[in-house]
Structure 1
Amino acid sequence: MKMDKKFCSVALASTTIVLFLILTLSTISIATAQNTSSTAKYAYITNSGSTTVSVIDITTNKVTATINVGKYPYGVAVNPAGTKVYVSKEASGVVSVINTATNKVAATVSVGKKPWGVAINPAGTKVYVANEGSKTVSVIDTTSNKVTATVSVGNYPCGVAVNPPGTKVYVANSLDNTVSVIDTSTNKAIATIKVGNLPTGVAVNPAGTKVYVTNEYDVSVIDTTKNKVTATVTVGKYPWGIAVNPAGTKVYVTNYGDGTVSVINTATNKVTATVTVGSYPLGIAFSPDGTKAYVAKETSGAVSVINTATNKVTATVTVGKEPAAFGQFISSATT
């Protein structure tokens, strides 16, 4: 009888250990799968009227975290791997680096005066920050979180974008009505392109052949082989944010002055749809598969979600005070 009890105890203990191992390994596997597949699941919305960044799960359209980054966060860019987020803070002249695994600020990098636009190269090794107050672009090495170069550009640089090969950076100089072209191998401006009045937002198509720039009244289309404007597209009132869909077939433009988003067909350079989103839309970015566009609305404290197949608003997500989200606030990763 004692032997039977001992056998049962051993068997029970063994079963418990096996079950524990199965559950532990399953949990680890699930967590690993979630970590691997979630790199592009989140939108990082800078709330310019406060000190925070709101994190939206783009699968559920729910805010899952709020990160304290310091006063007046404005520009934002997520690295291609989805592991880091870079946030410019205009008043303090710094960029905060968020670790997305912990949703905590892991580093702070001093740049130029009044940093606005932020962009990351496709390799995730360099971050380019447009400093409106110092007529420069700061180049940050992402390994060391140090500024390794400062590039002189035009007057009041605002939006910034990197081409797909990572060889060129395009910067909108708002008070010069120009776009500077930076060669990333030398960190020198190699061309200056005349565009429309008061350019702000910049986006490059996936092929790297076209650059789209929002001006006060329209959008300039630049041919990158010629560094010349080849088309001008009239959109809504005071266009600001701009994004190209992953297929390169459509450009979405936020019209700050009339609460709409213009949809441009890139084959014809014509507006094919106008989506009403609400007051003062600013930043815009696509989900990695291009099925949704997210629009930050500065005065309403919310983000509108557009179904790109129907060009209808399908959700509204409440975030922080005065969301700007100026830049690529969703990772481009597709896994």
Structure 2
Amino acid sequence: MSNVVSVIDTSSNTVITTIPVGSFPFGVAANPSLARVYVANVFSDTVSVISTNSNTVTATVPVGDSPIAVAVGPTGARAYVTNTDSDTVSVIDTSSNTVIATIPVGDRPVCVAVHPTQARAYVTNGDSATVSVLSTNTNAVIATVPVGNRPSGVAVDGPRARAYVPLVGSEAVSVFNTDTNTVIGTVPAGDFPVFVAVDTTRARAYVTNFDADTLSVIDTDTTTVTATIPAGDGPGGVAVDPAGRRAYVTDENWDAVSVIDTDTNTITATIPVEDAPVGVALK
């Protein structure tokens, strides 16, 4: 583990710089409205705040024990951090880079996603087999959704009122209705599905299957798998560009990021990065 963030130029598919952060950086989220990126440092119990203008760390925010994932709200005013060993979520005021609330959730929270239009955040609890639904107005849990064995990643499709949760222990993805907070289906995935990204424009969800070395493509209108794409060695984090034409997947065992053409479902580039990359975000 190099304890750095690699910055990639997506037009040339090359690393243009690396930024030192805390110990064991894992989750990463972009905040375009403030030209910042937030990195959860698991072993430092901190979040590094990076300026995307200068590519330097401008603040370090202490959070809970073993922060693993981070998500930014739609206005950019708040960032939400899952603290796996504290069973909490830290809420960061992005203007002051301070924690303004700590929310108890389920056992061993893993990932968090924020609804794009409603005042809700969704937290997967790996050892509780649930998703905690948070009110981002009151910073409190307002619902708990049973989803299945060892939920990991989570992504929200706002226009379709759906959330997608890979289940590491079930080789499947749980789909629940974000209006009713009820599970409406389960979609088969590959071995050890971990993370997910949603392309709302093209009605797709992309799920990384770590042990299968593949990416499952789900049609979010029909809730069916339409393709399974080879995706390197140990695929983990996944992000889709705003146009939905490229998916970026971290390959932990390749020390690389795979670039996938979502029209042809093929890898078009492999970008070498530092040791064991996990999270990926686009700004």
Greater percentage in helix:
1
Please classify the TM superposition score into its range, dividing by the shorter chain length.
over 0.9
C-alpha contact (below 8 Å) 1:251/1:264 kept by paired residues: yes
Task: Give a deviation string over 1:234-268, Cα, whole Å, max 9, x none.
Answer: 01000011000141500000000110000001111
Distance 2:213 2:34 in 1: 30
* Corresponding residue number in structure 2 for 1:11: none
* Corresponding residue number in structure 1 for 2:215: 261
Task: Say which SS state the counterpart of residue 75 (structure 1) adopts.
Answer: strand
User: Are 2:159 and 1:207 aligned?
Assistant: yes
Which of the numbers 320, 323, 328 marks the counterpart of 2:274?
Answer: 320
User: Are 2:81 and 1:117 aligned?
Assistant: no
C-alpha contact (below 8 Å) 2:202/2:244 kept by paired residues: no
Which of the numbers 268, 272, 276 marks the counterpart of 2:230?
Answer: 276
Distance 1:187 1:93 in 2: 21
Matches of residues 1-335 of structure 1 in structure 2 within 5 Å?
49-81=1-33, 83-207=35-159, 209-216=161-168, 217-247=171-201, 249-325=203-279, 329-331=281-283
Structure 1: runs of 5+ lacking an equivalent: 1-48
Distance 1:276 1:82 in 2: 35
Task: Say which SS state the counterpart of residue 112 (structure 1) adopts.
Answer: coil
Number of aligned pairs?
281
Deviation at 1:166, TM superposition (A): 4.8
Q: Say if 1:192 and 1:248 are closer, same or farther in 2 by CA, change over 3 A.
A: farther
Task: Give a deviation string over 1:212-253, Cα, whole Å, max 9, x none.
Answer: 001021100010111011010001000011000141500000
* Corresponding residue number in structure 2 for 1:6: none
Task: Say which SS state the counterpart of residue 81 (structure 1) adopts.
Answer: helix
Distance 2:161 2:32 in 1: 20
Task: Give a deviation string over 1:183-208, Cα, whole Å, max 9, x none.
Answer: 01110000000001000100001426
Structure 1 length as normaliser, TM-score? 0.82
Runs of 4+ in 1 over 2 A off after TM superposition: none
Distance 2:111 2:130 in 1: 11
C-alpha contact (below 8 Å) 1:240/1:254 kept by paired residues: yes
Distance 2:77 2:13 in 1: 30
Select the structure with the greater relative contact order (CA < 8 A; seq sep ≥ 6).
1
The higher radius of gyration belongs to 1
